[in-house]
Amino acid sequence: MKIDVRGAVLAAKKYFEDIQDMIGNSINDILLEEVELSENKRFWYVTLGFSRPVAKTERTLIPEAISLATKYEREYKIFTVDAETGEVKSMKIREG
């Protein structure tokens, strides 16, 4: 039984959440960015974006703010999901 786009996205998101402790628990705002079905219809390519705090912090000019503000950067992962089984076959870094 083939999985639809919703099933592919849910499989990618669950996979990502299951391994989140291995890549850092400080991940926020997981959002769907892109979905594509391969030309041969065997795989879904699902891109998830998320925010991660940048290692260094900087002082703010606003006195009401607590002295340090955390900056976040957006990162992206591409998941290859088998269109037949829903199994995640790979997770790769997407640049930019």
Q: CA distances (Å), 49 to each of 16, 63, 76, 90, in order? A: 11, 32, 4, 16
Distance CA 51, CA 73 (A): 6
**Rounded to two decimals, what is the model's pTM?**
0.80
Q: What is the pLDDT along the chain (96 residues), one digit of tens a residue?
A: 699 999 999 999 999 999 988 887 688 899 999 999 999 999 999 999 999 888 665 555 655 555 466 788 899 999 999 999 999 999 999 876
